[in-house]
Amino acid sequence: MKDQIRPALTMVLLLTVLTGLTYPLTVTGLAQVFFPDQANGSLILREGKVVGSRLIGQYFDKPEYFWSRPSATAPFPYNAAASGGSNLGPTNPVLIDAVKTRVAALRTADPGNALPIPVDLVTASGSGLDPHISPAAALYQAKRVARARGLDENSVLTLVSKHTEGRQFGLLGEPRVNVLMLNLALDALTAEPVSR
Amino acid sequence: MTANGLVQIALFFGVLIALVKPLGWYMARVHEGKSCGLDRVLGPVERSLYRICGIRSNEEMTWKTYAVAMLLFNGFGLLALYLLQRIQGVLPLNPQAFGAVAPDLAFNTAASFTTNTNWQAYGGESTMSYLTQMMGLTVQNFVSAATGIAILVAFIRGLARRSSQTIGNFWVDLVRSTLYILLPLATIVALLLVGQGAVQTFDAYHTARFAQPVHYEKPVTDGTGQTSFDEHGKPKMEPAIEHHQILAVGPASSQVAIKHLGTNGGGFFSVNAAHPFESPTPFTDFLLILAETLLAASLTYTFGVMVGDTRQGWTILTAMLAVLLVFMLGGYLAESDGNPRIATLGADHTPSDIQPGGNMEGKETRFGIARSVIFAAATTATSTGAVDSMHDSFTPLGGLVPLFLMQFGEVILGGVGSGLYGMLVFAIIAVFIAGLMVGRTPEYLGKKIEPYEMKMASLLILIMPIVVLGLTAVASVTTAGTASILNPGPHGLSEILYAYTSQGNNNGSAFGGLNANTVFYNTTGGLAMLASRFWLAVPTLALAGALARKTSAPTGSGTLPTHTPLFVVLLIGVVLLVGGLTFVPVLALGPIVEHVLMMS
């Protein structure tokens, strides 16, 4: 018993240095050399200022923007300093009411739209920071966005398909559209001076 | 269910099985003390560790000394992690200036990470400094996994050796697992993660300007910071506007890599692998699932090599993977079908090439249904407990899958090391039951199974259900327990059951709606985690010691061969029977009742 105390104490200390300092510092060093953009958060810079991350969604509820998925982070949606899901169970009345409200909001913003509402657009993501919506959810909103911006629907659809990613390696995960990147591209499109 | 989803499931099993033999062979070399290639580079580090600690690496230990060394090492580790959390406020690498972690939460977290559970009653990005994440949590991710492997190889030596008093040297097993297996693999996985977009930086959190400012309602507070309430007892709300998004970053990838390889599961961020900075792409999701199953699966081959019959290892692995496949498919079916109560509100949940469909509450778009379910099954079949989707929002039967997989005692792959030693105990019980049927003395791998072995084995399968069901019962009937529930009805019971199942099996995943950061849950949960890890580890080592002392029983015509399809069936039968008989009644009151309610 007694002769194991010294090895136990020293070993805790040495393995802490090895796995708690040497290892993360080595990985950080290599990451910062080989993948500096990714390692620092895939930041989007405009005029030297951070306007977001390509990997973290933002909240949109104006008709001229594509809306992201509902977010359950507190105290406001898409709070990237405190990720979180709703954790509401499938039979919880709070969940059912929330979905009802979201369906109503989408229908009010676009009364003539007869397309079915994709389920991902009315359910909160796991992280509360989901940067993506499904292509179906983007198509559902294209007409509204075009109308609100005075654009022709086809140019909006072209932009959507430009921001649509397929399954990774054609196999993994699901097809998706990055909402923030799409909306920033829309803003850039509208801000561009009309040529000719 | 879609064809693509089934192909993604098949791909996971295919790649995993293909890696079992090479990695299992490599780990056998490491633990038989043979040259493994990496020792040419890291050999000096290994030898200087022994020298500084005063360890004579060629001296073997009896099971008692082995257990003492293991307990002391983990005890000091627990203490160090507790202290680090308590004083993080005055230590460096704390750019967000987080204060000391509360005593009950610090105890729960220290118990959680030293027991390879990684239950988290805190949100990483809002509680822990970079230093605590690295020098506390990451360290335990490594050494708790290495401890699991050490106990396993000691147990295998017990089975493999004849008339031996010793079962190896704990320090050597610990150091070699860490240096030659965990560190190199973690470095590779971490860099693959960063390449895809996972963060690895010591910068403070970034501030971004929202493209569209967020209007929301926030609770009104009075002068002292207390929330004000209206006459109905509801908090008063006022409109607020937020212009900035704080992007939490940190040295995440290095920790994420080992939390999966070591079946730990504790996320750097609150939502774990659902967070885009932990798992940014479907490929990283695939990689993390592979990482968390890789060592547990490959160790079955290591076991085969070390007992001199690789068929024995494949038999165990077949039983594990068969159960996992069935549960994974069941979960996939339940989640694909979606939530009928939401479908009637006008949400379309039919899967297609342009939308995932199904039950998307709590799931990420990039993962969809298939990846979320593969993850949920793999993370609970192994004792990882990381999540890429919120299990609390799964359909009742979809949520039953992870719950039930844990309740088998984390032996369907299970924790690194601990899963296989748990499963070998079930193998001993299986030969015992088969022996009773034909009236012969049971044997496993040439070792006679006698009353002492059966006593230890019975202890090993009885402790967990007593801890889990006992604490669930207490929490269900006390205000301290029920006050934390988020979801009403039978789902509330499922939340409590999940919490103690997870902690009582060292898994660490949660039905996250339950508010677990209370003195009651932190304390009872912490004790459950310590009991199920160390109270099981000691009898396992005792069993190893007893088996090592035995001579070999010659194989006779009445010996049950343990490498046949028949034994696979027998082993699965025993695991399902023990788990099922113990937990089906309480599952009927939770998820099963909720399913019936949801469909009615």
Total domain count, chain A? 2
Which residues fall within 8 angstroms of residue B245, CB to CB, at 6 or more apart? A52, A56, A58, A78, A79, A80, B207, B208, B209, B210
Among A9, A25, A40, give the residue marking a domain's end.
A40
User: Using the beta-carbon criterion (under 8 Å), do A174 and B356 form an inter-chain contact?
Assistant: yes
Instruction: Give CA angle at B323 (B322, B325), nearest 5°.
Output: 65
**pLDDT class of A192 with cuts at 50, 70, 90:** low
Same domain, A46 and A35: no
User: Using the beta-carbon criterion (under 8 Å), do B366 and A176 form an inter-chain contact?
Assistant: yes
User: Using the beta-carbon criterion (under 8 Å), do B134 and A103 form an inter-chain contact?
Assistant: no
- Neighbouring C-alpha atoms within 13 Å toward the C-beta of A173: 26
Cβ–Cβ < 8 Å for A64, A145: yes
Q: Which amino acid is at B558?
A: G
Q: Per the domain annotation, does A196 fall within a domain?
A: no
Among B138, B356, B363, beta carbon nearest to A20: B138
Q: Per the domain annotation, does A16 fall within a domain?
A: yes
B200 to chain A, any CB pair closer than 8 A? The answer is: yes
Q: Per the domain annotation, does A122 fall within a domain?
A: yes
Q: How far is CA B385 from CA A104, B344, B434, B464, B508, in A?
A: 37, 33, 34, 17, 5
Same domain, A119 and A178: yes
Among B199, B218, B281, beta carbon nearest to A41: B199
Which residues fall within 8 angstroms of residue B22, CB to CB, at 6 or more apart? none
pLDDT per position as a tens digit, B351-363: 999 999 999 999 9
**pLDDT class of B287 with cuts at 50, 70, 90:** very high
Q: Per the domain annotation, does A51 fall within a domain?
A: yes
Q: Per the domain annotation, does A49 fall within a domain?
A: yes
Chain A residues in contact with B491 by the CB 8 A cut-off are 89-92
Q: Which two tokens stand for residue A113?
A: 């739209």
Same domain, A159 and A115: yes
* Whether residue A75 has a cis bond before it, omega within 30° of 0: yes
Percent over 90 (pLDDT), chain B: 92
Chain A residues in contact with B3 by the CB 8 A cut-off are none
Q: Measured between alpha carbons, how far is B524 from B235 in angstroms, rounded to an integer? A: 31
A129 to chain B, any CB pair closer than 8 A? The answer is: yes
Could you give the ipTM of this predicted complex? 0.96
Same domain, A36 and A70: no
Same domain, A33 and A47: no
**pLDDT for B99 beyond 90:** yes
Collapsed DSSP state (helix, strand, coil) of residue B65: helix
Q: Per the domain annotation, does A138 fall within a domain?
A: yes
Same domain, A51 and A23: no
Q: Measured between alpha carbons, how far is B300 from B152 in angstroms, rounded to an integer? A: 10
Q: Per the domain annotation, does A107 fall within a domain?
A: yes
Average of per-residue pLDDT across A9-17? 97
Show the domain range for A5.
Answer: 1-40
Chain B residues in contact with A187 by the CB 8 A cut-off are 211
Percent over 70 (pLDDT), chain B: 100
Cβ of A148: how many Cβ atoms within 10 Å?
14
Same domain, A9 and A94: no
Same domain, A79 and A147: yes
Higher per-residue pLDDT: B140 or B225: B140
User: Using the beta-carbon criterion (under 8 Å), do B248 and A81 form an inter-chain contact?
Assistant: yes
* Predicted local confidence at residue B410, as pLDDT: 95
Same domain, A159 and A77: yes
pLDDT per position as a tens digit, B172-192: 999 999 999 999 999 999 999
Mean pLDDT of chain B: 95
Same domain, A63 and A146: yes
Compute the CA torsion angle B274, B279, B283, B287 (nearest 10 deg). Answer: -100
Same domain, A161 and A95: yes
Q: Per the domain annotation, does A98 fall within a domain?
A: yes
From start to end of A59-136, where are the E strands?
117-118, 132-133
Same domain, A34 and A81: no
Element (H, E) at B88: none
